[in-house]
A and B are shown apart, each in its own frame.
Chain A
């Protein structure tokens, strides 16, 4: 059992009772009524993973994903909590919509679904949403993700106003005037493919603005899907001077470069785009160093037919919930950048502290919610998109052989996913 929140890495038993962690320790005596699971020696018991960034598409995009299918996909990937992005159709910008997402999430009975609300009305970037009401209805953060908050004035107001309610502003940092009609990273590959590029500067410029405004306001800005070396430097410097900034990086930005786009592979079309080798090295190092706090999937399902078209016309986004653990193990743990505890810290413990999740999320301390992920980090399987629980299959990792099989996902003491069937 590995729980970085308690500095624990030991061979112990864990007892869950009444939906909560009862206790852990060596040779626990299980009560008569308890169901016991014996684990192989290589298996790891971890606090349930927390994904700060998933697009569950409902309402409006049910052909791509529903809250239920997304929650099941999350559970299959070892996530016990998942934050649902508000860029649906219509956007989640009023309390009733927040309530809908929560209710659907509970009904699904898989991973816990926490709504993130729109930061501005209709995500139009002009008028703040009723953030107080949204938080009361269950929102854990606000964002206009999918598009940036272009107005520095609005961003400033958001970073000020959210402080009353203790939630961060999740920033999709992109200067649209620089990214323009870009569809991939700007560089040699975009030049040879004849595709419009998005320069690193499109992200760097906006991250610079965001950390400056967070410094001005003392508000909490969380930078989503960091992809550039420049953004890493800006966040590092901001943290050093005490700015309230946190950041996430996706498994695909930790792994792939713009070379993956060659052949006009729309399953590698994401925003921010897959960058250069130097950027990949930089975001990996930043995650290890703590400049980037956590891994988040930016799970962005799209229907097959939407991706099966000209590169320019295909939508941005890749699914990530069901490959996040495997990819992270492959690119962070196997090369020795992080140990298992370090990875669990960034998949479970740290993200749980960035948004106001219920007390005890991201830990296995006694009394915490019974959210547990059990996985075998050594067993390897091939990525088979046709077996995804997600409704969409737009992954760049199809056919990859990845380490790490999720054996059990337990939410509130109830097993919501069993991995054996997948083999």
Chain B
């Protein structure tokens, strides 16, 4: 992010951000919530900036959320979906990057099925790169909006017990959440079928629950991950029915919790598989609050990344009561 506030050029993941940088993003997201409540939901902060949303993987909610964020900051945006572009005709990511660079764009939001693709692009173009999900690596803005939602609802993140439940192995959301939560002092656990819990995860300081009942006993927050239906075909679980019976979040299971548990889900949900409708729509679900916060967090990230020559920023820091 901008050198002015100690970030790099890009947002690739939360692994390499400090707790202070993460808090800064969350704090900056606060005023952006209010912008989305205005009658004219638009500020000119990124006027004249060109942003390309480069989506190599189908995604509706993340792309729409970014697009709202960009438009509410007055940026000019172009969406490129891999399906309709030369990418599928064999153009490499390197060539795509060079073409974008030649068009003098300011920022790229990239979603890609390969882990490391966002970083790959960031290392090759001068524009700011924001990772909107790369393979099974990271999905930083999703984790940031999860963090903001937990902070909104519980007033803090430090000391909060968060269990990420479901397909941890294939989840970039899980990885970004683990980094962010640990850095901000939360206690983190994961719970899922052992076939879907990645090796070595406990070495990160994450507790692993084998049974959902134990996780519910322990947690203040459950972040329920989407179960991709392909996982059954690939033999990670025997059937969706069995998954729901043993690893699905049901109101009966939650009813036995010793305290109210906040329910998050990055969406889109498979109702009746990883989460039952009465839980998803129930009083402890903050799933729609997450969607709202998603726009604010992405506005904050876009704003913090945009522009900025560090030496002039130094000069601008002088002058407290003299901000004209």
Chain A interface (Cβ within 8 Å of chain B)?
186-197, 199, 263-264, 305, 308-313
B298 close to chain A: CB less than 8 A: no
11 contacts between A and B (CB under 8 A): A188-B203, A189-B200, A193-B137, A194-B137, A194-B175, A195-B135, A309-B93, A310-B114, A310-B116, A310-B117, A312-B113
Q: Is the CB of B94 within 8 A of A188?
A: no
Q: Is the CB of A311 within 8 A of B199?
A: no
Q: Which residue of A lies closest to B200 (CB)?
A: A188
Counting from the closest, the 3 A-B pairs by CB-CB distance are A194-B137, A188-B200, A264-B116
Q: Is the CB of B200 within 8 A of A312?
A: no
Set of chain A residues within 8 Å of B114, measured between Cβ atoms: 310-313
Contact of B198 among A191, A263, A310, A312 (CB under 8 A): A191
Decide yes or no: A186 and B172 within 8 Å by CB, A264-B120, A309-B94, A313-B114 being known contacts: no
Q: Is the CB of A308 within 8 A of B94?
A: yes
Considering the chains assembled together, what is the distance between the CA atoms of A313 and B203 in angstroms? 28
Set of chain B residues within 8 Å of A193, measured between Cβ atoms: 115-116, 137
Other contacts beyond A191-B199, A309-B120, A312-B113: 20, CB < 8 A = A187-B199, A188-B199, A188-B204, A190-B199, A191-B175, A191-B201, A192-B204, A194-B138, A195-B135, A195-B137, A264-B119, A264-B120, A305-B92, A309-B93, A309-B94, A310-B93, A310-B112, A310-B120, A311-B116, A312-B115
Set of chain A residues within 8 Å of B136, measured between Cβ atoms: 194-196
B76 close to chain A: CB less than 8 A: no
Considering the chains assembled together, what is the distance between the CA atoms of A186 and B199 in angstroms? 7
Please give the distance in Å from A276's CB to the nearest CB on chain B.
10
Please give the distance in Å from A145's CB to the nearest CB on chain B.
27
B220 close to chain A: CB less than 8 A: no
B15 close to chain A: CB less than 8 A: yes
Give how many A-B residue pairs fall within 8 Å (CB-CB). 69
Q: Which residue of B lies closest to A197 (CB)?
A: B199
Contact of B115 among A188, A194, A305 (CB under 8 A): A194
B203-219 vs A, Cβ < 8 Å mask (1 yes, 0 no): 11000000000000000
B134 close to chain A: CB less than 8 A: yes
Set of chain A residues within 8 Å of B138, measured between Cβ atoms: 194
Q: Is the CB of B15 within 8 A of A192?
A: yes
Set of chain A residues within 8 Å of B15, measured between Cβ atoms: 192
Set of chain B residues within 8 Å of A312, measured between Cβ atoms: 113-116, 135
Set of chain B residues within 8 Å of A308, measured between Cβ atoms: 92, 94
Q: Is the CB of B200 within 8 A of A187?
A: yes
Q: Which residue of A lies closest to B92 (CB)?
A: A309
Considering the chains assembled together, what is the distance between the CA atoms of A193 and B118 in angstroms? 12
Set of chain A residues within 8 Å of B93, measured between Cβ atoms: 309-310
Set of chain B residues within 8 Å of A264, measured between Cβ atoms: 115-116, 119-120
Decide yes or no: A195 and B94 within 8 Å by CB, A187-B200, A188-B200, A312-B135 being known contacts: no
Please give the distance in Å from A70's CB to the nearest CB on chain B.
26
B135-170 vs A, Cβ < 8 Å mask (1 yes, 0 no): 111100000000000000000000000000000000
Considering the chains assembled together, what is the distance between the CA atoms of A188 and B15 in angstroms? 14
Q: Is the CB of B199 within 8 A of A194?
A: no
Set of chain B residues within 8 Å of A199, measured between Cβ atoms: 199
Set of chain B residues within 8 Å of A197, measured between Cβ atoms: 199
Q: Which residue of B lies closest to A188 (CB)?
A: B200
Contact of A194 among B94, B135, B204 (CB under 8 A): B135
Considering the chains assembled together, what is the distance between the CA atoms of A305 and B15 in angstroms? 29
Considering the chains assembled together, what is the distance between the CA atoms of A308 and B116 in angstroms? 12
Considering the chains assembled together, what is the distance between the CA atoms of A187 and B92 in angstroms? 29
Please give the distance in Å from B98's CB to the nearest CB on chain A.
12
Please give the distance in Å from A315's CB to the nearest CB on chain B.
14
Considering the chains assembled together, what is the distance between the CA atoms of A199 and B119 in angstroms? 25
Considering the chains assembled together, what is the distance between the CA atoms of A199 and B116 in angstroms? 21
Which of A192, A194, A312, A313 is most buried by chain B, counting CB atoms within 10 A of its CB?
Answer: A194
Which of A190, A191, A199, A312 is most buried by chain B, counting CB atoms within 10 A of its CB?
Answer: A191
Which of B114, B137, B204 is most buried by chain A, counting CB atoms within 10 A of its CB?
Answer: B114
Q: Is the CB of A195 within 8 A of B201?
A: no
Set of chain B residues within 8 Å of A196, measured between Cβ atoms: 136
Q: Is the CB of B115 within 8 A of A195?
A: yes
Q: Is the CB of A194 within 8 A of B134?
A: yes
Considering the chains assembled together, what is the distance between the CA atoms of A165 and B173 in angstroms? 57
Considering the chains assembled together, what is the distance between the CA atoms of A308 and B97 in angstroms? 12
B105-125 vs A, Cβ < 8 Å mask (1 yes, 0 no): 000000011111101100000
Please give the distance in Å from B123's CB to the nearest CB on chain A.
9
Set of chain B residues within 8 Å of A194, measured between Cβ atoms: 115-116, 134-138, 172, 175
Set of chain A residues within 8 Å of B112, measured between Cβ atoms: 310
Considering the chains assembled together, what is the distance between the CA atoms of A199 and B203 in angstroms? 17
Set of chain B residues within 8 Å of A310, measured between Cβ atoms: 93, 112, 114, 116-117, 120
Considering the chains assembled together, what is the distance between the CA atoms of A311 and B112 in angstroms? 12
Set of chain B residues within 8 Å of A189, measured between Cβ atoms: 200
Set of chain B residues within 8 Å of A195, measured between Cβ atoms: 115-116, 135-137
Set of chain B residues within 8 Å of A186, measured between Cβ atoms: 199
Considering the chains assembled together, what is the distance between the CA atoms of A312 and B112 in angstroms? 11
Considering the chains assembled together, what is the distance between the CA atoms of A336 and B172 in angstroms? 44
Considering the chains assembled together, what is the distance between the CA atoms of A187 and B200 in angstroms? 6
Set of chain A residues within 8 Å of B135, measured between Cβ atoms: 194-195, 312
Q: Which residue of B lies closest to A180 (CB)?
A: B234
Please give the distance in Å from A228's CB to the nearest CB on chain B.
15
Considering the chains assembled together, what is the distance between the CA atoms of A197 and B93 in angstroms? 23
Q: Which residue of B lies closest to A187 (CB)?
A: B200
Please give the distance in Å from B177's CB to the nearest CB on chain A.
13
Set of chain A residues within 8 Å of B137, measured between Cβ atoms: 193-195
Considering the chains assembled together, what is the distance between the CA atoms of A196 and B136 in angstroms? 9
Which of B115, B138, B198 is most buried by chain A, counting CB atoms within 10 A of its CB?
Answer: B115
Q: Is the CB of A192 within 8 A of B175?
A: yes
